[in-house]
Every structure is written in structure tokens, then in C-alpha cells.
Amino acid sequence: MSNKFNWAILGCGNIANDFAREMNKMGGKVYSIANRTYEKAVAFAEKYSIEKIYENINDLFVDDNVDIVYIATPHNKHIEYILKALENGKHVLCEKAITLNSDELNKAVALANEKNLILAEAMTIYNMPLYTKLEKTINSGALGEFRLAQVNFGSFKEYDMTNRFFNMELAGGALLDIGVYALSLVRMFMETENAEIHSQVRFAETGADEQSSIIIKNDKEQMASVTLSLHAKQPKRATICYDNAYIEIFEYPRADKAVITYTNDNHTEEIVAGKLEDAMCYEIENMENAILNGKNTMRLQYTIDVMNVMTKLRNDWNMKYPEE
Ligand SMILES: NC(=O)c1ccc[n+]([C@@H]2O[C@H](COP(=O)([O-])OP(=O)(O)OC[C@H]3O[C@@H](n4cnc5c(N)ncnc54)[C@H](OP(=O)(O)O)[C@@H]3O)[C@@H](O)[C@H]2O)c1
């Protein structure tokens, strides 16, 4: 790949490092970097051969050379930077969860539409080739009708109430951090958006959702159950069941393999596509293609639907972040 666009990165933490490394691996180059702590931006620029460093984050938005802003700060800082980027005519690829709630996201989507810009969430599931290949098998009708899905995601995070996972000041909690993956997967396989949602939640001392069980039904009576935890490891496993078969996917946020078991005779079929280590390359490529084609093919409607679910759940839990 050669760079078709000038990408600017905002933030230089864990995921921003992955992004810059992947961009370099693809033979491309990040154009510029901004970060709250300037010294870290300088070190980051050196590491990834980035030519431009801004002393002030706001300088990034008014740089005429920037085409796309990749936002990699904590979730509660996303909306401010998304709006600034869009207002200045930049396309935006923003880390998950794209915003804190639907009100914020609706504002961002309206502005992107008004300005004719591509806005997308950096959701690996929407970009891994495995899911595109699975969609073809599903659309062929071979599996029958979708019935239900069971999806888990659990990490063990130390009870350090100051880290971002449990810290309400940094939009902590399992739902926005890992639930967004499980719910995005569910949304991809369910034929319509969710109509009925019930849940149970356990809070950490800080008030962040530490653990939850969520059940979902849509207007076609298709169902899903999702189990999340931030203080108990769970396998990242998805089982997606149809009339004639079920699909199993391990490590589904970045997966390159799924196994379909056909239930009439229990024979299995392995579906393989893409490479785990290229997850961010697919996001970069798809984003550039969406811009080139002038059409948002980044599954933004799924992002909107998932944000609606997460907003409803937190309303049910009476859980609000300081910004809300
Ligand atoms: N897609 C994925 O696979 C994936 C994986 C991990 C994370 N993420 C998402 O990416 C985002 C960042 O996560 P991370 O793990 O990379 O975080 P991280 O390592 O803690 O890095 C956070 C970055 O944001 C900056 N930052 C923190 N608070 C800020 C504030 N109040 N204003 C402006 N900048 C601020 C930090 O700047 P300083 O250098 O000044 O501290 C740092 O550059 C989160 O939304 C997360 O959910 C996605």
C-alpha cells in the first residue's frame, strides 16, 4: 500500500502504537501526531518516522494537509475531538467505544452527513475478512434462519480503582470497553436491530459496571445473550445458531477462523479468511476505500444501533458518567 491519504493520530497510548506500527507494516506512513503530553508525541514520532508533531492538539484540526484523523484517546474524549475534526473537514476513524452515548453519536453523525465526510468506529469485527466471508455463507441460505447467539467477553483487571477500566472519570466499565465488541458481533448476525433488552449488572466500588448479563430479542424473535466481566476471565467465544447449523468463533474481536457444524450429520466446515495480525490494516484499507468511493461502507448504522443498546442499558442501570 502506498499512502492515499494523510493520516493524523490523536493520542499515543497502546492502540495508537498498534495503529502506527500496522501503517508502517503496510508500507504507509502516518503524517502527523498530537498528544496531551507533548514529550510522548515526540518519542512516538521518532519511533514511527512521523514528520509532523503538534505542540497543541488543536493545531492538528486546522492543518490543511490532514485528510483523516484517527482518535485513540479514552472514550470520554472522543466526541470533542470527533466534532473538531469534522468541523474542520477531516474524515474520522475513532476508537471504540466511539462515544459515551447515543446523543453524542447522533450529533457526530449529523455533522458528518452535513459535511459529507466519512465517520467510522475502529471496530475490528466490522473489518475482519472472516465476517465478510461468513456473511456470504449465511446469505446463501445453507445454514437456514438465524435463531440465537451466545457471546462472552471477560478480562481480569486488577482492582486498581484508579485505572481506566474502573475509573468513571475515564468512562470506565465493561460495557463500553468490551461489551461493545460482543454487541457489535450480535448486531452483525441479527437481521434487525434489537427491540427488547433485559439485563443484570454488578457495579465496582467506583460505580463502573464490572459485570453484566444481557439478553436481547429483535422483532423477528431472534435472540442473543451476552455475558461481560472485568474481574473474571472468560473465553472470548461466540456461538451463533441457525436452523441447520451453528457457527463457533473463538477470540471473535480479531478472528480469522470459524467452524460451522451442520447439525443433520454433525459434519464441520472451517471458514478461514484474513490474518489476525492484520486487523488494523483492514480498518485502514476499508476507511481509505470508503473515502475514495464517497460512500460510508464502514457499517456506521451498526455502530449507531449498538450505541443505542448501550445507552439504554446504562439508563436502565442509572449509571451516568461525569460528562452526562
Ligand atoms: N480497537 C482495539 O483493539 C482497542 C484496544 C485497546 C484500546 N482501544 C480503545 O482506544 C482508546 C485508547 O485506549 P488505549 O488502551 O490506547 O489507552 P492508553 O494506552 O491509556 O492511551 C491513552 C491516550 O489518550 C491520551 N489521553 C488520556 N486522557 C486524555 C485526556 N483527558 N485528554 C486528551 N488525551 C488523553 C493519553 O495521553 P498521555 O500520553 O498524555 O497520557 C494517551 O495518549 C480507548 O477508547 C480504548 O477503548 C481499542
Give 84-93 pLDDT, tens digit per residue: 999 999 999 9
For the chain, how many residues are written?
324
Q: What is the mean pLDDT of the chain?
A: 96
pLDDT number for residue 215: 98
pLDDT at 4: 85
How close is the Cα of 72 to the center of ligand 1, in Å?
A: 5
Helix (H, G, I), strand (E, B) or coil at 282: helix
Q: Which residue's alpha carbon is nearest to atom 2 within ligand 1?
A: 15
Among 12, 36, 167, residue to substitute to test ligand 1 (most atoms within 8 Å of Cβ): 36
Question: Taking a C-beta distance cutoff of 8 angstroms, is the pair 204, 166 a contact?
Answer: yes
CA of 78 to the centre of ligand 1 (A): 10
Which CATH topology does 7-122 take? Rossmann fold (3.40.50)
Domain ranges of the chain: 7-122, 126-279+306-316
Phi, psi angles (nearest 5°) of residue 86: -65, -45
78 Cα nearest atom in ligand 1: 45
Cα of 44 from ligand 1 centre, angstroms: 14
* 174 HSE (CA, 13 A, CB side): 30
Residue 167 Cα to ligand 1 midpoint, Å, equals: 13
Distance 171 CA to ligand 1 centre (A): 11
Please give the distance, rounded to the nearest whole angstrom, from the Cα atom of residue 224 to the centre of ligand 1. 30
Closest protein CA for atom 17 of ligand 1: 13
CATH number given to 126-279+306-316? 3.30.360.10
Q: What is the tens place of the pLDDT at every residue in 118-140?
A: 999 999 999 999 999 999 999 99
The CA-atom distances, in angstroms, between 126 and each of 173, 202, 217, 226 are 22, 29, 21, 18
> What is the per-residue burial (b if ≥16 Cβ within 10 Å, else e) of 283-315?
bbbbbbebbeeeebebbbebbbbbbbbbbebbe
In this prediction, residue 164 carries a pLDDT of 86
Measured distance CA(269)–CA(249) in Å, rounded: 12
pLDDT less than 50: residues of the chain: 2
Question: 141: Cβ–Cβ under 8 A, 6 or more apart, which residues?
Answer: none
Pocket test for ligand 1, best of 95, 176, 286, 307 (most atoms within 8 A of CB): 95
Of 254, 239, 227, give the one whose Cα is nearest residue 155. Answer: 227
In the chain, the percentage of residues whose pLDDT exceeds 70 is 99
Give per-residue pLDDT as tens, 138-195: 999 999 999 999 999 999 999 887 788 999 999 999 999 999 999 999 999 999 998 8
